[in-house]
Chain A
């Protein structure tokens, strides 16, 4: 287990480095940064001054190494637009995105797993079909559209919950539902398939042969094994949700990382863009790593190897 974790961590670090190189290069090769920072009305001298001021005239490799050196000490420079450092901006916005992602995941897990178990137990009945319908709708519906529907129904018409802002927990309910629904179908279907497979297995027959109660057979013996791949998927889905919160944050005017990235891109605020891209990538990497470790911890065959 120890070497397993060390190996995965090394892989994660190299993936993170690769992503930082690729994103840096893509940004710098996508066009002349000095021109886009200076804006369409700038004169040639102004563009040149910006190029020198921002260090964009130096070789790209040394620019990257500078940036990487900073990043390793959590120094991503200053925003071109806001009067603050990139780290301050991110520290300010991150809690909102993490709250949203965490709530959405909690919601997705607490709906998809029971629903998946129920669908498996009631296989081929109307309950199973209803769950499937729920999943198909969830997979087919764009999240911004679902978010807007929620706003129209619960914020505008019923006026139960606020439509925009991030001051209290009420503000997170609708966006978390909108974002969490997106992750629910895949997890539900994986739970259902896993349960159907496990319920056919020999050790479930053994558990029943011992006369264990239905609850013990289903939850202790079946779900414990069926849920292993779902845990991994949940971690990956959380990564997607953090990345995908750009859309939901703008629909609900939540000032999170997604909104920050969106604003930074439209304002050519490159230090912010680069930092957010790296951070979202790091989320993915850490979550995938956690998924692997959780998988191993749940699976005795890997854990005790």
Chain B
């Protein structure tokens, strides 16, 4: 049984223009101790997916799922109280913005310890000892003195390390890291990434690592799920995905991974021309159709999730067969 089993998860948000389908029926699973990378462009529903798993969706959001099971427990029907028993204790989250994720009014020690005290009923002294140990483990020097500091006294990189330590306090089974390095300097990004991978292996914690970067980041994962416009359009073990991407979008992402020194950072995902379809109302046919270089008339029908050899799936009519000859671009005569 997987640690996390998600089947047909949907998240809808009422907006002025109608109903925004931020997550449109996604399936994925996470095994114990494995690292799954959820990758996709900004706005494709990664954060909504992670908030849905944590039970932290915006109040107006509507969630539905055929199955949303964490270690055999159905999350969708769990009361808020039981849910909060899991949060922080068995599933923890690291957010994108380390500068605002900590409460400015309390010391790091206070904020590190409170979760452990709440969930395990340990004394403040025991909690502080664990906090000191974990701050050391995430590479923060003078950990004991740091406990009495306030968030504003730390740099962004340090704060993100504190957030990682905080996520580890109760030894959770699953950590969801939502773009934990996006707001940081490139050099710090690499350090944080390496740290997360190390700790994940050392503690045997399962990690969902969310990123918009199919370059370096995704390679450290055991498996990758690629999201596009609220759907998982491809998922595979990392080597298979890189060796034989089944979906034209994944191929597009891979082909525009920068060669060091030749591509500006941050420019990679804009490299696929065209815009993502609106998520307000239904998306007809393949959501990638308007940007897909291999689009065919067939693609006006919604593509099924095709199974490829290995634990590999792609949502494209042509994932399992050679692409027909490309359509002539309309602008050429």
Contact = CB atoms under 8 A, between A and B. Distances in A.
Contact of B103 (A214, A225, A304): A225
B104 A208 contact: no
Given A209-B92, A213-B84, A300-B152, A202 B119 contact: no
A181 to B, nearest CB: 30
B23 interface: no
A225 to B, nearest CB: 5
B24 to A, nearest CB: 24
* Most chain B Cβ neighbours within 10 Å, of A202, A210, A298: A210
Contact of B85 (A206, A208, A211): A211
Contact of A209 (B93, B97, B103, B119): B93
A4 interface: no
Interface in A180-210: 201-203, 205-210
A207 B166 CA distance: 11
B166 A202 contact: no
B100 A202 contact: yes
B87 A301 contact: no
Interface in B43-95: 54, 56, 84-89, 92-93, 95
Contact of B95 (A202, A213, A221, A300): A202
Given A211-B88, A216-B114, A206 B102 contact: yes
Contacts of B93: 209
A129 interface: no
Nearest to B153: A304
A111 B332 CA distance: 73
A300 B150 contact: yes
Contact of A301 (B118, B150, B163): B150
B277 interface: no
A202 B84 contact: no
A224 interface: yes
A212 interface: yes
B145 to A, nearest CB: 13
Given A209-B92, A210-B166, A211-B88, A203 B114 contact: no
Interface size class of B (residues with CB under 8 A): 20 to 34
A203 B118 contact: no
B215 interface: no
A170 to B, nearest CB: 40
Nearest to A304: B150
Contacts of A210: 87-88, 92, 114-115, 118, 166
B103 A206 contact: yes
A206 B150 CA distance: 16
A202 B97 contact: yes
A232 B240 CA distance: 61
B105 interface: yes
Contacts, number: 81
A211 B89 CA distance: 7
A221 B88 contact: no
A126 B87 CA distance: 31
Interface string A214-226: 1010001100110
Given A216-B114, A216-B118, A202 B104 contact: no
B88 A203 contact: no
Contacts of A211: 84-89, 115, 118-119
B101 interface: yes
B295 to A, nearest CB: 39
Nearest to B86: A211
Interface in B99-125: 100-106, 111, 114-115, 118-119
Given A211-B84, A216-B114, A301 B92 contact: no
Interface in A67-111: none
Given A206-B166, A209-B93, A216-B118, 7 more contacts: A205-B95, A208-B56, A208-B87, A210-B114, A210-B115, A211-B89, A300-B150
Interface of B: 54, 56, 84-89, 92-93, 95, 97, 100-106, 111, 114-115, 118-119, 150, 152-153, 163, 166
Interface of A: 201-203, 205-214, 216, 220-221, 224-225, 298-301, 304
Chain A to chain B: the 7 pairs with minimum beta-carbon distance, closest first: A211-B88, A211-B87, A210-B88, A210-B115, A202-B100, A203-B103, A300-B150
